[in-house]
């Protein structure tokens, strides 16, 4: 049931949605107070378009309709708030109330549910018509806004939004606390998509296989907005499927050296996706493995981010596909800022160098220490920096240094070649054991190399002698677990793990507690760093 849409069809739909949003009925009945300009950290929400900076929630699975909803919001001077279908109702309501959405746009399939939810927060609900139904009736010119399309084919908008006006409120992943609304402007969005498209050489010849949620920056910017800016094709696979992905790659490159017309050329994912893809590959028979690996090799680019890529995963992926994953570092507040290069050395265990125009500073606890290998909090200045946290002026203020660098909350260091290494979050991933500061990421990476380990999460548990004790939570490899259970043994014991790991880790880094779990709880971005001590002490 594949359906493809041209850019002109998407734009037609965006204009239609802009017309719907601008209809006096929706505007006049949406709560008037919500159209006022609530005070942001910096100043009010501007934009004198029809919607005057009103927040428009968008709920749709990754699809052409989602894209049209977002572009239509921008054409009308609204602020898009991507909402997740996967949110439980309470969380959906929290985000809708927090961002003061006036109108919620959804596709027809979620109509009833959203109408009900919208009514609970005094918002209006409107349906995004199927892109095909609009674009087959009319062409883009029929939908053009008052400004029309000029002789060069460039859209002219008659609404008075400035590039400094908010365009997007996108929520952080909620790894370290309640998700925060991050306000991006038209300018910060434009700066970012230009940077990504240039750095990774996205072109109209590219086709992306998109399996990420659209309410986080990885899926929205790296795999959707930047490709659209570059004129690439984006193919949505709304539900991540290991078999589906391998199959789609094999269809793209059916025989070594051949390429289908609609071949996938770029893939970007979170580390857990690559772990799952490796597991899927290992379960294939040798013939299918050969065809799959050969197809994957032929993609132009494979990227990874959103959380630390464990080196064993990176190495296994390289062995199978010959792709050194391009790892980069970003966060909701500035989208992407540091990246390994497209051409040149992609250094394992690093996230590369700052993009052009980006400045990174390492804020050390003791500012006088000046050593390249010192760990400190990464602070970033970037053209794509957000404008502030929505309705959290105090938090916004505290997030900047005196010199206007944004404090990431991530600890890192830079190597002699200028490549950055993320050590962990300044709070959650740095354990304080005795006098040592230990990186949970480093210990996880070492443990993951053990053959009995499929997934791993390391954290500090309160300890009366040392302050914190290193605890490893392990999801065992299914096959190892099965064999060991036949002998009534656990998949791995703490003694076995430590006697193996002492070759790789200093004695004070070795876990003193081990928990074996069936799975790790992960959020929409595959992150497990929100596993807290309380979860382990139950």
The contact set with Mg ion (CB under 5 A) reads 172
**Are the CB atoms for 494 and 474 separated by under 8 Å?**
no
Subset of residues 286 to 325 that bind ligand ATP, contact rule: CB under 6 A = 305-308
Count the site residues for ligand ATP by CB under 6 A: 25
**In this complex, which beta carbon is closest to Mg ion, that of residue 125 or of residue 387?**
387
SS3 call for 114: helix
Binding partner of residue 206 among ligand ATP, Mg ion, none, CB cut-off 5 to 8 Å per kind = none
Shortest distance in whole angstroms from residue 188 CB to ligand ATP:
14
SS3 call for 197: helix
Binding partner of residue 425 among Mg ion, ligand ATP, none, CB cut-off 5 to 8 Å per kind = ligand ATP
Binding partner of residue 174 among ligand ATP, Mg ion, none, CB cut-off 5 to 8 Å per kind = ligand ATP
The 10 Å Cβ neighbour count of residue 368 is: 5
Distance of alpha carbon 530 from the chain centroid: 16
Find all residues with CB under 8 Å of 488, minimum gap 6, and list them: none
Shortest distance in whole angstroms from residue 170 CB to Mg ion:
12
> Phi then psi for 114, rounded to 5 degrees?
-75, -30
**In this complex, which beta carbon is closest to ligand ATP, that of residue 283 or of residue 395?**
395
The 10 Å Cβ neighbour count of residue 186 is: 17
Shortest distance in whole angstroms from residue 307 CB to Mg ion:
11
How far apart are the C-alpha atoms of 189 and 362, rounded to whole Å? 25
Judged by CB under 6 A, which stretch of 110-118, 175-183, 399-407, 457-465 contacts ligand ATP? 175-183
Shortest distance in whole angstroms from residue 178 CB to ligand ATP:
7
**In this complex, which beta carbon is closest to Mg ion, that of residue 61 or of residue 361?**
361
Binding partner of residue 241 among Mg ion, ligand ATP, none, CB cut-off 5 to 8 Å per kind = none
Q: Pinpoint the alpha helices (H) of 372-432.
A: 393-398
Shortest distance in whole angstroms from residue 512 CB to Mg ion:
29
Judged by CB under 6 A, which stretch of 2-10, 177-185, 205-213, 380-388 contacts ligand ATP? 177-185
Judged by CB under 6 A, which stretch of 115-123, 286-294, 329-337, 342-350 contacts ligand ATP? 329-337
Residues β-bridged to residue 459: 471
Strands 101-106 and 79-82: unpaired
Subset of residues 394 to 413 that bind ligand ATP, contact rule: CB under 6 A = 408, 410
Instruction: Tell me which H or E stretch contains 423.
Output: strand 420-425
Select from 179, 213, 310, 312 the one that contacts ligand ATP (CB under 6 A).
179
E runs forming strands in 382-530:
388-389, 406-414, 420-425, 430-433, 436-439, 453-463, 467-476, 513-516
Task: Determine, following the binding rule CB under 6 A, whether residue 244 of this chain makes contact with ligand ATP.
Answer: no
Alpha carbon distances (Å) from 285 to 249, 294, 316: 17, 14, 18
SS3 call for 359: strand
Strands 301-304 and 266-269: parallel
Binding partner of residue 49 among ligand ATP, Mg ion, none, CB cut-off 5 to 8 Å per kind = none
Cα torsion through 260, 263, 265, 270, rounded to 10: -140
Shortest distance in whole angstroms from residue 115 CB to ligand ATP:
29
Task: Determine, following the binding rule CB under 6 A, whether residue 172 of this chain makes contact with ligand ATP.
Answer: yes
**In this complex, which beta carbon is closest to Mg ion, that of residue 13 or of residue 172?**
172
**In this complex, which beta carbon is closest to Mg ion, that of residue 397 or of residue 489?**
397
How far apart are the C-alpha atoms of 353 and 358, rounded to whole Å? 9
Residue 400 has what DSSP assignment?
Answer: B
Select from 16, 100, 165, 327 the one that contacts ligand ATP (CB under 6 A).
327
How far apart are the C-alpha atoms of 467 and 472, rounded to whole Å? 16
Shortest distance in whole angstroms from residue 409 CB to Mg ion:
6
Shortest distance in whole angstroms from residue 408 CB to ligand ATP:
6
Shortest distance in whole angstroms from residue 327 CB to ligand ATP:
5
Select from 34, 184, 216, 391 the one that contacts ligand ATP (CB under 6 A).
216
> Phi then psi for 497, rounded to 5 degrees?
-60, -45
Alpha carbon distances (Å) from 121 to 63, 116, 171, 500: 26, 9, 18, 55
**In this complex, which beta carbon is closest to ligand ATP, that of residue 76 or of residue 222?**
222
**Are the CB atoms for 462 and 496 separated by under 8 Å?**
no
Which positions from 25 to 54 touch ligand ATP by CB under 6 A, shown as an x/- string?
Answer: ------------------------------
Task: Determine, following the binding rule CB under 6 A, whether residue 332 of this chain makes contact with ligand ATP.
Answer: yes
**Are the CB atoms for 271 and 309 separated by under 8 Å?**
yes
Task: Determine, following the binding rule CB under 6 A, whether residue 381 of this chain makes contact with ligand ATP.
Answer: no
**In this complex, which beta carbon is closest to ligand ATP, that of residue 130 or of residue 349?**
349
Binding site for ligand ATP (CB under 6 A): 172-177, 179-180, 216, 305-308, 327, 329-332, 351, 408, 410, 422, 425, 525, 527
């Amino acid at each position: 049931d594949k359906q493809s849409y041209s850019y002109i069809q998407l734009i037609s739909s965006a204009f239609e949605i802009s017309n719907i949003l601008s209809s006096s009925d929706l505007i006049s009945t949406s709560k008037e107070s919500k159209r006022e300009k609530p005070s942001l950290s910096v100043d009010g929400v501007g934009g004198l378009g029809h919607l005057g900076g009103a927040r428009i929630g968008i709920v749709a699975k990754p699809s052409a309709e989602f894209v049209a909803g977002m572009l239509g919001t921008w054409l009308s001077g609204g602020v898009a708030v991507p909402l997740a279908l996967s949110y439980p109702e309470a969380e959906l309501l929290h985000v809708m109330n927090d961002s003061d959405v006036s109108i919620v746009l959804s596709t027809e399939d979620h109509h009833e549910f959203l109408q009900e939810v919208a009514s609970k927060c005094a918002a209006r609900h409107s349906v995004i018509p199927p892109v095909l139904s609009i674009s087959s009736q009319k062409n883009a010119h029929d939908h053009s806004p008052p400004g029309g399309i000029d002789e060069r084919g460039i859209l002219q908008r008659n609404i008075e939004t400035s590039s400094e006006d908010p365009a997007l409120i996108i929520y952080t992943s909620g790894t370290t606390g309640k998700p925060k609304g991050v306000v991006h402007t038209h300018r910060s969005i434009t700066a970012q998509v230009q940077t990504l498209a240039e750095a990774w050489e996205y072109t109209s010849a590219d086709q992306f296989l998109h399996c990420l949620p659209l309410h986080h920056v990885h899926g929205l910017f790296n795999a959707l907005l930047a490709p659209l800016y570059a004129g690439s094709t984006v193919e949505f696979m709304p539900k991540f499927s290991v078999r589906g992905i391998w199959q789609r790659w094999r269809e793209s490159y059916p025989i070594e050296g051949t390429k289908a017309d609609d071949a996938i050329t770029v893939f970007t994912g979170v580390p857990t996706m690559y772990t799952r893809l490796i597991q899927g590959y290992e379960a294939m028979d040798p013939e299918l493995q050969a065809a799959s690996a050969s197809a994957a090799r032929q993609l132009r680019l494979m990227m990874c981010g959103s959380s630390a890529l464990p080196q064993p995963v990176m190495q296994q992926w390289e062995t199978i596909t010959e792709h050194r994953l391009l790892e980069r570092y970003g966060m909701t507040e500035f989208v992407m800022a540091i990246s390994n290069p497209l051409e040149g050395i992609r250094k394992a265990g690093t996230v590369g160098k700052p993009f052009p125009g980006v400045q990174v500073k390492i804020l050390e606890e003791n500012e006088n220490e000046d050593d390249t290998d010192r760990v400190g909090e990464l602070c970033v200045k970037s053209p794509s920096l957000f404008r502030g946290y929505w309705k959290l002026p105090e938090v916004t203020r505290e997030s900047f240094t005196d010199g206007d660098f944004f404090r990431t909350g991530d600890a890192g260091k830079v190597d002699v070649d200028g490549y950055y290494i993320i050590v962990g979050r300044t709070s959650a991933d740095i354990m304080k054991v005795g006098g040592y500061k230990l990186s949970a990421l480093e210990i996880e990476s070492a443990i993951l190399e053990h053959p009995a380990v499929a997934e791993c999460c390391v954290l500090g548990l309160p300890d009366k002698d040392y302050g914190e004790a290193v605890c490893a939570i392990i999801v065992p490899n299914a096959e190892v677990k099965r064999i060991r259970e036949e002998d009534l043994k656990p998949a791995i014991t703490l003694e076995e793990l430590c006697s193996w790991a002492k070759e790789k880790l200093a004695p004070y880094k070795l876990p003193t507690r081990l928990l074996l779990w069936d799975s790790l709880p992960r959020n929409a971005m595959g992150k497990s760093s929100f596993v807290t001590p309380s979860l382990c002490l139950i």
